[in-house]
Amino acid sequence: MRLTHPHISGRVIAAFLCVFFGGLAQIDAQAPLPAGTASPAPEAVLSATVGSIRDDARASILTAAKQLQAVIKHGVVTSANATTAPDGYASRVHASIQDYLNFFSAAINQVEESANGQSLILRLNPVRTGINRVGLSLTLTKPSVSSLVEQSVPEDARASVVGGLEKQQGDLDDTTFAVAYSFVTPKFEWTATSPCFGRDPETYRDLLSGLLMAAPDVDVRAEQIALWQLKKTVIALLPESVRMAKVNEVDFPLTVPLTDFGANAGVAFQLATQWGQLEGRGTLKEQQFFTELGFQTVEDLYDNQPQLSLVGSYHHPARFGGPNEWSANVELQFGRYNINRLVRESRGNAAAAVQLLKTYQAANDTADKFVLVATYKHREAYAVATLDIGGSPVTGFTPIDAASYSELSARLQWGMKLHQLVFASRPRVDVTLEGIRTLENTTVTKNRWVGSVTLTMPVNDAISVPLSLTYANKTEYLDQKDRRLSAHLGFSYRLPGL
Amino acid sequence: MKTVGFFPGKAGQRLTIKTKPNDAILGYYILVDQWKGAPSTFVKWNGTEAEGANGVTFDLEPADGYDVTIKAEVKKDATPKIAVTLAIDGTSKEYDIEFPSSEGPVVSRDWNIFLH
C-alpha cells in the first residue's frame, strides 16, 4: 500500500518524517495544510504509514513514534504543573561572593548551585600527578536548626524560637569540605605494558576508537548508493529559493514543510518514505553486525576496569545545626574481564582484540565482578547548655548533651561463573560479606556481620537451584536462632517472557 | 545510519572537521567516502584526532561528492552526543549530534557534500 499526500495532512507528514529521523524538536507544528486536504486522526495515519513500510524498518518507526508520544505527553504534564518559586539561598550567596571568586578563578573548576537552590558547590581544579588524581570541593548549605535543638524547646514556643535561632545564623555558617582521591591512568594505549586504572572515558577513547576502526566494514553499500541518488532527487524537487535558503539546516530537507515542495509534494513524500526505509534497514544491519561482532561487551569491559577511590568529608554545621561530622569512604571495584585483559590477551593488536570480543561475548563472563565498599562516619559530641534569643534566655529549654557516635559499615561482593558444567550450563558462585559496627561514646551499640556463599546451579534456561551457606556473628541475624551457620536450598523458576 | 546534513561544495575547497564527544561516547572514528559514480574510502581518522584545536582537514578533489560519516561506540542507557563543527573554506556549521544508544552498540551519522 502506498500513500499519497492528498490523504494526509502536511503536519502529520512532517511529524512522521521527524519521528523516523529523530528530529523530534524540529516538528513544524504550524505547517499549513494543503488546500482541500482532509485531516484524519494522526494515530490512524501513522498506523497506515507504518503499515506500508517493510517489516525490518517497522519496529524502529514504532519505537520512535512511542518516543514522540512520550515527549508530547511529558510536555503536557510538565506544562500543567504549578511551579513554586525556588528559595534564593544559593543564587544570593553566589552573587555575594562572586567578586572574591574572581581572584581564585584559575583554581576554581566549577561553581554550581544545587537543583533545589539550597546549596552552592565550589569545585577546585583536580590535581593530577601521574595516575593520582585529587579533587577538592567546598559546599555551602543554607543553615538550619537541628532537630536536637528543636526538640529541646517547649512545643508552644518552638516555632518562634527556631525562627529566632535561624536569624542568628549566617549564610556561610554551614560548610562541608570534601576531598576525593582516585587512581586514574591519563591515557591507555594498545602498546601499554602495565594495567590501566580508573573509568575516565577520555583515558580509553583513543584505544576504543582504534578498536572500532579495526573492525571489518559493515556492508551497507547498497543502501548507501540508493540513498545518494534518492537524496539528490528529493533536494532537486525543492524550488531553488527554498533549497538555497535551507540547505545548511540540520536535518535538511526532512524538516522542510511538505507544502514547500509545491506540486511535487506527493512525490517528495513517497521518496522520503523510501529514504526512511533505506536508513532504517541500514541501521538494523549495522546493529546486527556489531552485536554479532561482540561490541555489546565493550561497555562491560570498560565498567570492569579496576577503580579505587577514596572520599573524605568534613561537615561543620552552624551553631544550632547540630554536631560536626566527618566521614571516609573507600571503594574498590573491578571485573575479571576488562579492557586491561583485552589489551593483554590481544598483545596490543586491535584486530586481534576485535576477535576476542566475540569470544568474551560467547563466554558470557563479563558480569563477574568484585566490589568492596567501606564507610566510616564520626559525629562529634554536641552540647548546648542555654539558648538566648535577643539576649533573653529561652525558658523551658532542655540542655543538650549528645554523645559522640561513630559507625563503620562495609560490603564485599564477588561473583563468577565456574568452568565445570552442570546440566550443560556453568554454575555461578557468589560471595557476600556485609556488616555494621556502631559506637556511642565508647560503648558498642551494634556489631552485625553476615557473610554468605551461594552456588547457583542452572537446570535449564528457566530453572536454577541456588544453595546458600550463611554465617553471622550473632544468631539473631539468621533465620535459625540457635545456630550461627545456616544453609538454604532453593528453587528458582524464571517465568517465560519476563 | 542517518543523514544529518548537506553541504554544497566545489573542488579545491578545504573541509575541516572538529569534534567534542560527551562521556557516553566510548570511541569513534570519522570516515570520508569519495563519490565518483560509486563510493570509495577516501580517508579515515581516529575520532580523537579531530578533537584538537585544528581538527582534521582534507581538500575536496574533483568528484561527484563526499560522504562524511561518524561511527561511534555508545554507552547503554545514556545520551551519547558529539558536538561537530564542519567548515568548508571558513564557512562553518555546528551540530550537536545524538547517537541514540537504542541503535547501539555502534551508531553512525553522516553528512553529504555535493560538489557542483
Task: Report whether A491 contacts A465 (CB < 8 A).
Answer: yes
| A279:B48 CB<8 A | no
Cβ contacts from A onto B, under 8 A: 115
Owning domain of residue A424: 403-498
For residue B14, the model assigns a pLDDT of: 95
Q: Tell me the ipTM for this assembly.
A: 0.96
The Cβ of residue A443 has, within 10 Å, a number of other Cβ atoms equal to 8
Q: Does residue A358 form part of some domain? A: no
Q: Does residue A172 form part of some domain? A: no
Q: How far apart are CA A215 and CA A479, in angstroms?
A: 53
Given A293, A312, A332, the domain boundary residue is A293
Task: Report whether A306 contacts A248 (CB < 8 A).
Answer: no
For residue A42, the model assigns a pLDDT of: 35
Cell for A179?
576531598
For residue A103, the model assigns a pLDDT of: 77
| B114:A224 CB<8 A | no
Q: pTM for the whole thing?
A: 0.73
Owning domain of residue B13: 3-115
How many domains is chain A built from? Answer: 2
Which residue among A201, A252, A299 sits closest to B76, beta carbon to beta carbon? A299
| Whether A260 and A409 share a structural domain | no
For residue A482, the model assigns a pLDDT of: 57
* Helical pair A201-213 and A350-363, crossing angle rounded to 10 deg: 100
Given A234, A266, A293, the domain boundary residue is A293
| A283:B103 CB<8 A | yes
Nearest chain B residue to A294 by CA: give it.
B105
For residue A154, the model assigns a pLDDT of: 92
Please write the tens of the pLDDT for every residue from B16-63: 999 999 999 999 999 999 999 889 999 999 999 999 999 999 999 999
Q: Does residue A278 form part of some domain? A: yes
| B39:A221 CB<8 A | yes
Q: What angle do CA A156, A159, A161 make, to 5 degrees?
A: 95
Q: Does residue A146 form part of some domain? A: no
Q: Which residues of B touch A (CB under 8 A)?
A: 1-8, 21, 23-29, 33, 35, 38-39, 44, 46-48, 65, 67, 71-73, 75-76, 93, 95, 98, 100, 102-108, 112, 114
For residue A51, the model assigns a pLDDT of: 37
Q: How far apart are CA A273 and CA A255, in angstroms?
A: 14
| B26:A251 CB<8 A | no
From first to last of its 498 residues, chain A has per-residue pLDDT tens of 333 333 333 333 343 343 333 332 332 333 333 333 333 333 333 333 333 344 444 454 445 444 444 443 443 334 444 445 556 888 888 888 887 877 777 788 888 888 888 999 999 998 988 889 999 999 999 999 999 999 999 999 899 999 999 988 889 999 999 999 998 999 999 999 999 999 999 999 999 999 999 999 999 989 999 999 998 898 888 888 888 888 777 777 777 888 888 888 889 889 988 988 999 999 999 999 999 999 999 999 999 999 999 999 999 999 999 999 999 999 999 999 999 999 999 999 999 999 999 999 988 888 889 999 999 999 999 999 998 888 888 889 999 999 999 999 999 999 998 888 887 788 899 999 999 999 999 899 999 999 999 999 888 878 888 999 999 887 766 665 556 777 777 777 777 654
For residue A473, the model assigns a pLDDT of: 87
Which residue among A209, A251, A295 sits closest to B29, beta carbon to beta carbon? A209
How many domains is chain B built from? Answer: 1
CATH code (residue B39) = 2.60.40
Q: Which residues of A touch B (CB under 8 A)?
A: 21-22, 63, 201, 204-213, 220-221, 223-225, 227-228, 231-232, 235, 247-252, 279, 282-283, 285-287, 290-291, 295-296, 298-299, 302
Given A270, A293, A316, the domain boundary residue is A293
Q: Does residue A392 form part of some domain? A: no
Which residue among A212, A248, A287 sits closest to B93, beta carbon to beta carbon? A248
For residue A322, the model assigns a pLDDT of: 95
Q: Does residue A117 form part of some domain? A: no
